[in-house]
Amino acid sequence: MGSPQLPFAGAGARATLAGLYHGRVQTLARAVLSFIRKHGLLKAGDRAAVAVSGGADSVALLRVLLELRGELGIVLSVVHFNHQLRGAESDRDEEFVAQLAKQNNLGLHCDRGDVADFAARNHWSLEEAGRKARYEFFRKLLVDGHVNRIATAHTLDDQAETVLLRVARGAGSRGLAGIYPRLSVAGSQFSVVRPLLSIRRNALVAYLGELGQEWREDASNRDLRHARNRVRHGILPRLEANLNPRVREALAETAEIARAEENYWQWLVRRKLPQFWDEESKSLGDLSRLPLALRRRMVRAAADSLGLQLEFRHVEDVLDAKSAALPDGWVVALSKTRLRFCPPDSAAILSDYEYRLPIPGVVDIPEIRRRFEAALVSGGRAQEYNPEALLDRVLLGEDLVVRNWRPGDRFWPSHSKAPKKIKELLQERHLTGIERKCWPVMVSASEVVWMAGFAVPARLQPKKHTATAVAIREIPPRPGRSTR
């Protein structure tokens, strides 16, 4: 338990110390009040419960709000959730918080849960399980009307740690926004607020020392098996020593900038999305004219509306690939010029595609975002090409049909003993889902004469006496034109 000791001082020294104490305490309280007002976290009449674990940060938050409650016009209480992770120590934390509430004539909302069991059953980390259990308790208090605000003791240090962890794991501006000053819960009338996000942890410890206020120390906060603790006790101190002594403030400022930009993006996407998103068909219209950043946002917003949380790689797959596998078994594929989100096991409902390819000529296949060319090659130049990609012009019809393969289609790749079902050929390549269903082939007179990724049949390849061959190749989209 933290227990500050004040040295003996004479009357004059005590007066000086009292002045310093008053000045420092007031400075911190004013900084917190300024942050509360800047972000509209608390207003007169609010019934605010302070989430107190017993640690220094949360105890300091309670003491600061006790100082400010008259000026803010709020009614305070205390909320504590016992995670039952440290046996008797967790119970003593609960007792300490209960005594603290009693000393200050505050109501207490207390609950407990077996977080270790909760984590094991759901395959979550202890930190994630603890947060979910704790916030579910908060939500219940808010929805049941016991309070309308819950204040948590997230500090500037917590913000810096969060941003650094998200950078390391990969994050866009949404992730870099870090911890928000306010989190709406079960509707805008209820919220979790973080009044200490602009305050360093060491300032709170000094504040408690000047008050003579004890707190509880949680030994797990030093356990380096947890990534946050490695950042807190190892990585950030090294960055401060070797890179930037104000790195925590810099990371917190990054979060503040990212939050403002994220708010702008959300406003813009809310305006734009209805112009492109068809909720009934779960499809997005042609996004190619939009800037890349907005295209990414539109895809993510569409997925959010379906309850899908996409990572950056998923969004890139949607925009850049011919098809994309998403979380929970969803897939996205092109249907004409629209990006279509398909629930699990829905590949069979996607429309087939079929396009004419003149010889010579070029064809765009928007469903798979690919473009093919059939070029004429004179017999004298045939040796410049891979013979396994050439077809004898005489053996083909007037033009080719490019389509996705159909059940029952067969193909005879060069160097194989006999024709095989295309389904089996694709299974051997481990192609699945939408990618397999949409795999392109070319047909002449009802025979599959070309198949992407496979050598053309030996009997259709040009011979020495062949006057003209046809080279099939995939080419990039024309500049300024999207195949989406």
Task: Report yes or no: 470 and 460 within 8 Å, Cβ to Cβ.
Answer: no
What is the secondary structure of 21-52 as a DSSP string?
HHHHHHHHHHHHHHHHHHHT---TT-EEEEE-
Q: What is the pLDDT of residues 141-157, one digit of tens each?
A: 999 999 999 999 999 99
SS3 annotation, 301-348: HHHHHCCCCCCHHHHHHHHHCCEEECHHHCEEEEECCEEEEECCCCHH
Alpha carbons 396 and 373: distance in angstroms, whole number: 15
Alpha carbons 165 and 125: distance in angstroms, whole number: 15
Predicted pLDDT at 351: 64
Predicted pLDDT at 119: 87
Query: Domains plus CATH for the chain?
Result: 11-256 (3.40.50.620), 279-348 (1.20.59), 353-474 (3.50.40.10)
Predicted pLDDT at 187: 67
Alpha carbons 257 and 162: distance in angstroms, whole number: 15
Predicted pLDDT at 482: 42
Predicted pLDDT at 356: 94
Distances (CA, A) of 55 to 61, 94, 318: 10, 11, 45
Predicted pLDDT at 436: 82
> Which two tokens mark 194?
């973080």
Given the DSSP bridges, would you call strands 75-82 and 107-112 parallel, antiparallel or unpaired?
Answer: parallel
Alpha carbons 375 and 361: distance in angstroms, whole number: 7
DSSP lists the bridge partners of residue 358 as: 399
Task: Report yes or no: 414 and 457 within 8 Å, Cβ to Cβ.
Answer: yes
Predicted pLDDT at 22: 54
Predicted pLDDT at 18: 47
Which residues of the chain are modeled with pLDDT < 50?
3-18, 348, 480-484
| Ramachandran category for residue 453: left, alpha or beta (phi over 0 → left; psi -120 to 50 → alpha) | left
Phi/psi at 142 (nearest 5 deg)?
-70, -50
Q: Is the bond into 360 cis (omega within 30 degrees of 0)?
A: yes
Task: Report yes or no: 37 and 138 within 8 Å, Cβ to Cβ.
Answer: no
Q: What is the pLDDT of residues 414-428, one digit of tens each?
A: 989 899 999 999 999
Phi/psi at 195 (nearest 5 deg)?
-70, -15
